[in-house]
Every structure is written in structure tokens, then in C-alpha cells.
Amino acid sequence: MRKIGISLARIVYRIPGTIVLRGELGAGKTTFVQGFAKGIGVQDGVTSPTYALEQRYGDDILSHIDLYRLSSIQAAEFMRTLDPFPGIRVIEWSDRTQGIETDIEIEISETNNGRRIVMTFSDIEIPSDAQIETWMKNVMLPEHIQRHVQKVADICDTVADHLLIQGRPVRKKALRSAALTHDLLRFVDFASLIGDDVFTPSVKQTGVWTKNKEMYGTPHEAAAEKFLIQHGHPEIGRIVRTHRGHGTNSMPETLEQYALAYSDKRAVIDKAVTLDERFDDFIIRYSKGKESDTAKEWRAEMKRIETFLFPDGVPF
């Protein structure tokens, strides 16, 4: 439970926010909160606030509320007395009252073999596949790049499934949306907007690309983030921003950022490959058969990310 709490902390994008916890006595709610607190950097030891109702930690980074001993009327009145909180509020026994606006709901239940945890996220606006398809058409994204992002999205699905098996929370839909948009403006990095080694754009495409490059700039990771922010999806943009996985301002921090950066390096256009095969392809396509020191560092960094995601070995 503590490890799952730590993992959840690694995918929080929006602050302030509210997390509610439901589960019977002894289900592990406070242990979960202890892990979450550690994950967001709270150094103080977290204890159950059952008799104090609320405990605050780390310079108002975390508020831990327990409504267990209150009636529904008392719980509602207590919640009305609370001032806005600048950090993350975690509320146990939220079912004691109604109307709490939440970003993440967590339900913990006992099973024959352990515990079952269901997390419901409402903290991120996720674009629909239809919306993303419209964006691709509007920016005239080359067909081979569309095939690439689809393959990366499929790999992200597989990565997410394995992370969930490990008990590491990940928003599967958000991750897939980030995968489908991570190369949405890939063309802004094309040399002189003349395409790459497998594609030459039409005059119309070049015009559309030039307009987008002027609007969003380079590199394509930052450009895609700006696009997504402009269209109301800043959290998806944040996942996309670090998908290169190497270099200044491109190092992943959240679990979903790690998953996207890794999945992107497991695909050559629309073919699933190993990390070494992907980096060997980089050498052939971009370095005339010679691996630079920067490329070696990048490969090593992705190997470290692979180990972080799959400490027991790559399962696929």
C-alpha cells in the first residue's frame, strides 16, 4: 500500500487537488497516505488524524483529513469550515458526507488474496481519439508519422498494463492520448521543412507546417506541449514534453512521462523493436553509422528507464 501511494504521487500534475479514500477499517488507507506523502516530498511522519480531524504537513503541501468519527451532518459542517488549501488534500472516509469535489477517488476493498484498489481519475481533460484525428488532419501530419504514433500508443497500452500489474498507478487513457499526440508537430524539426528520408511534403503541407512552426516553435516536443495547452490539455502536454527522454528540459519525472519516453524508443515507424534496435536505427539514419557520445548517453539513459519501469526484466 505504501509503494502504491508513492507511485500515485509520481503522476500528480494538478495542484491544488483533492483525493478521497474509501475502505473499511484496516484496509490500509493511512499506510497508503504515508506512501503518498513520501512520494510528494513530505519529510514528517504521517499518522492517522482520527482524533484531530486534520493534520497538515510540509508547509501546506499535504492536508490529511479523517472523517471516521463524525456523523454525516458533522462531516458536512466540518468540510464547510475548511478554507481553500494550496496543496493536496487527502480525505479518508469521504462517504461520511456528500458533495466533495474530487480529482482522484480511491476505493480499497479486501479480497481473498489481498486488496483490490480502484482509482477513478477526473483531474485531467483527455482529448478524444476523434479530436486527435482532426488535429492530425488539420496539421497535415504525414501518414508514416501517424502510423508511428499509433504503434507507440499500442506499446504504451502494453507498458501501462504491466505497470498496473506491478501495482503502479498510471492513467492508461491519458498515456494513450499523449502517445497519439507526442509527434503531432514532428515536422517542425524537419530540415527546412522539406521532409525526412521517407517523405517529401506537398506545397500545401509545407505552407501548413511553416505556419505551425511560426506559431509553436521548436523542438517538436515543446511545440506539441504548447499546442495541447492552447487546446485545453496542459497535463497531456506535460506528459508529451519529455518524451525525448534525454537532454535539458527533456528528462521524465512522472511515471507516465517515463512510460511514453520508453515506448517511443521501442518503435521504428510502425514496427515494435528493442531499445538497442531503435538506437542502432538512429545511428544508421542520422549519424552515418557512427554513434556519438551524446547518443551513447541517451541509449544508456533509456536503459536505466527500462530498468526503472521493469525491475524484474522486460516482459515483452
**Mind listing the pLDDT tens digit for each residue in 123-180?**
999 999 999 999 999 999 999 999 999 999 999 999 999 999 998 999 999 999 999 9
Q: Enumerate domains of the chain plus CATH numbers.
A: 2-121 (3.40.50.300), 129-309 (1.10.3210)
Average pLDDT, the chain: 91
pLDDT (0 to 100) of residue 228: 98
pLDDT for residue 310 is more than 90: yes
pLDDT (0 to 100) of residue 49: 63
pLDDT for residue 302 is more than 80: yes
pLDDT for residue 243 is more than 70: yes
Q: What pTM does this model have?
A: 0.88
Give 12's strand partners. Answer: none
pLDDT (0 to 100) of residue 231: 98
- Average pLDDT of 198-203? 79
95 burial type by CB count under 10 A (0-12 exposed, 13-18 middle, 19+ buried): middle
Lowest model confidence (mean pLDDT) among 82-86, 95-99, 120-124, 197-201? 197-201
pLDDT (0 to 100) of residue 212: 97
Which pairs from 160-169 meet CB under 8 Å and 24+ separation?
160/259, 162/309, 162/310, 162/315, 162/316, 163/255, 163/259, 163/309, 167/3, 167/4, 167/7, 167/117, 168/3, 168/4, 168/7, 168/255, 169/4, 169/7, 169/8, 169/11, 169/119, 169/255
